[in-house]
Amino acid sequence: MPRIVPRQWVTNEEGITGKIRTRTREYSAYVPDPLMGRQFSFTGECAAHIAEAETAIRSLHSNAVVLDRTDGLARLLLRAEAQASSRIEGVVIAAHKLLRAEAARDLDPSGVPDDLAGEVLANIDAMDLAMELADCEQTVTIETLLRIHERVLQASDLREHAGKMRVGQSWIGGSSYNPCDAAFVPPPPDEVPALLEDLAAFCNDTSLPAVAQAAIAHAQFETIHPFVDGNGRTGRAIIHVLLRRRGLAPSWCPPVSLVLATMKDDYIRVLDDFHSEAPPDSPEAVAGVDRWVSFFAQACTRSVDDAMLFEDRVGAIQADWRERLAPVRRGSSVDLLIEALPRTAILTVNQAARILDRSFTAANAAVQELVKAKVLKQVSIGKRNRAFESPEVIAAFTQLERRLASPSGDTHTAAPVRPVPWKRK
């Protein structure tokens, strides 16, 4: 069963006379049960939520038209997912600024975006790596988790801790100086390696439905809290790894973190239900897992609903572009560029030439046609680079973020509950 481990926090304090005195305070760390060998059972209601989530994800992959035709919108949804994942931990940047920063980095890899953009781009890179590892590695290992975490922290001030398990005690809430009044104290550092080994083994198991497995793995990872920083972002990338590995989301994953970010208070509260101190087969512990898995499954279902609305919106935008530019010859540079724009939303002429597999001259002519039709707008990125962005795709991206920031899914009836970009005029 879970263990509550008593610990002491020792500090040296300077008194009024300048004399140093040692002060010892007590705190308790939580060590969860291993997952392997544990029997999980769900109520009928929870099982229904799991089934609904898995059906929704499969249906989206089967019925999507725009997403099925190109990975472009999946890339934009990945940006939204990565940014929302960061936003849960307080990192916020507007969509168009993030896109321009990424384009500038692509043009000059040696250039360093501003700290905020750099940190979110690192999170996007971690999501990309998670997808790559899900495809190419036969099993999830501790090394898998360390590599994802390394990518998450690569642009942060704590990069020296990237890809390394913590060697000290961490805690959540309370004082910044000690864990004695913390809301939650994860396991002591000496417990972390074995718990991560168990988690990796659980990630390779296939006995549970994929959504339930992703929910439990994410909750266990957050409970272990194995890193100095970046635990939330790494933990949410693990969701993507599992849904992809199990074949539920083979090409891309719905932006679950967009929903979790909106329901932050409920997310933390229900995740805390997972930290039961009772034996794992007790009614209390079973109910806590059930509440968490049910909450997670419903978040997955809502993320699918909004992803579908996003696809519909971008598909309508592309149809409108074709009307403005009619007649658009199938296979022409303009036709291919219309198909490619949701993937990039911002690009240079050289990038357009590579995407189209056409000459610079042909790509430039296509870009200029789209500029005249107000499909693209010229902007500056980096120091002296000219690029072109699609305001309508970025607006759809922003609309998605704003809608998902509303508890009701409609900002007209319920205002966003977290910082989101304003609609650009």
pLDDT digits (tens, 9 = 90+) for 254-264: 778 778 878 88
- The enclosing H or E element of 238 equals helix 231-245
- pLDDT on residue 199: 97
Residue 181 has pLDDT above 60, yes or no: yes
pLDDT digits (tens, 9 = 90+) for 37-74: 999 999 999 999 999 999 999 988 787 766 655 444 55
The Cβ of residue 388 has, within 10 Å, a number of other Cβ atoms equal to 24
pTM of the predicted structure, to 2 decimals: 0.84
Q: How confident is the model at residue 425 (pLDDT cuts 50, 70, 90)?
A: very low
Q: In what order do the strands lie in the sheet with 377-381?
A: 346-347, 385-389, 377-381
Residue given tokens 């490619």 in the structure block = 340
**Cβ distance 363 to 353 under 8 Å?**
yes
- pLDDT on residue 337: 93
Ranges of each domain in the chain: 3-304, 310-404
Q: How confident is the model at residue 369 (pLDDT cuts 50, 70, 90)?
A: very high
Give the pLDDT mean for 225-253.
87
pLDDT digits (tens, 9 = 90+) for 379-418: 887 666 789 999 998 888 788 777 777 776 666 677 766 6
The more confident residue out of 12 and 291 is 291
Q: How confident is the model at residue 188 (pLDDT cuts 50, 70, 90)?
A: very high
Q: Hey, what are 160's tokens?
A: 């020296």
Label residue 382 exposed, middle or buried (CB < 10 Å: 0-12, 13-18, 19+).
middle
**Cβ distance 260 to 299 under 8 Å?**
yes
For residues 6 and 12, what is the distance between their CA atoms, to the nearest angstrom? 20
Give the pLDDT mean for 164-186.
93
- pLDDT on residue 99: 73
| Beta strand 20-31 pairing with 346-347 | unpaired
C-alpha distances out from residue 35 to 4, 188, 201, 233, Å:
17, 18, 9, 21
- pLDDT on residue 228: 94
Q: What is the DSSP letter of 160?
A: G
Average pLDDT over all residues of the chain = 85
**Cβ distance 46 to 286 under 8 Å?**
no
The topology (CATH level 3) of 3-304 is Fic-like fold (1.10.3290)
**Cβ distance 178 to 7 under 8 Å?**
no
Residue 218 has pLDDT above 50, yes or no: yes
The more confident residue out of 306 and 143 is 143
pLDDT digits (tens, 9 = 90+) for 111-157: 656 666 776 777 777 777 777 877 777 899 999 999 989 988 887 78
The topology (CATH level 3) of 310-404 is Arc Repressor Mutant, subunit A (1.10.10)
pLDDT digits (tens, 9 = 90+) for 11-36: 876 666 667 778 899 999 999 999 99
Percent of all residues in the chain with a pLDDT value above 90, rounded to a whole number: 49
- pLDDT on residue 330: 94
Residues β-bridged to residue 184: 172
Taking the CA atoms of residue 205, residue 208, residue 211 and residue 217 in that order, the dihedral angle to the nearest 10 degrees is: -50
For residues 371 and 237, what is the distance between their CA atoms, to the nearest angstrom? 37
**Cβ distance 385 to 348 under 8 Å?**
yes
- pLDDT on residue 108: 73
